[in-house]
Amino acid sequence: MNNSQIAIPGKLIAVEGLDGSGKSTQIQLLRRWLELESYKVFFTEWNSSAIVKKATSKGKKTKSLTPTTFSLIHCTDFADRYERQILPLLMAGYIVLADRYVFTAYARDAVRGVDRQWVRKLYSFARAPDITFFFDVPLQIALGRILAGRPELKYHEAGMDLGLSDSPTESFGIFQGMIYEEYLKISTECNFVRIDATDAPENQQATMRRILQSKIKIEQFKSVSRWRRDRGQTVLR
115 is a contact residue toward another protein (CB under 8 A): yes
The bridge status of strand 227-230 relative to strand 233-236 is antiparallel
Report the residue from 19, 80, 157, 199 that binds another protein according to the rule CB under 8 A: 80
Residues 1-60 within binding reach of another protein (CB under 8 A): 1-2, 49, 51-52, 54-55, 58-59
179 is a contact residue toward another protein (CB under 8 A): no
66 is a contact residue toward another protein (CB under 8 A): yes
For residue 4, the minimal CB distance to another protein (Å) is: 10
117 is a contact residue toward another protein (CB under 8 A): yes
User: Which residues, other chains included, contact 57 with Cβ-Cβ below 8 Å and sequence gap of 6+?
Assistant: none
Helix (H) or strand (E) holding 80, with range, is helix 67-81
For residue 163, the minimal CB distance to another protein (Å) is: 12
**What CA–CA distances, in Å, run from 35 to 45, 79, 105, 153, 186?**
17, 26, 28, 33, 31
HSE-up of residue 197 (Cα within 13 Å, Cβ side): 26
Q: Which is nearer to another protein, 66 or 140 (CB)?
A: 66
For residue 58, the minimal CB distance to another protein (Å) is: 7
Report the residue from 113, 138, 144, 201 that binds another protein according to the rule CB under 8 A: 113
Shortest CA distance to 73 belongs to which of 116, 105, 107? 105
Q: How many helices (H) and strands (E) does the chain have?
A: 9, 7
200 is a contact residue toward another protein (CB under 8 A): no
Strands in 63-102 per DSSP E: 95-99
Q: Return residues touching another protein (CB under 8 A).
A: 1-2, 49, 51-52, 54-55, 58-59, 64-69, 72-73, 75-76, 79-80, 82-84, 112-115, 117-118, 121-122, 124-125
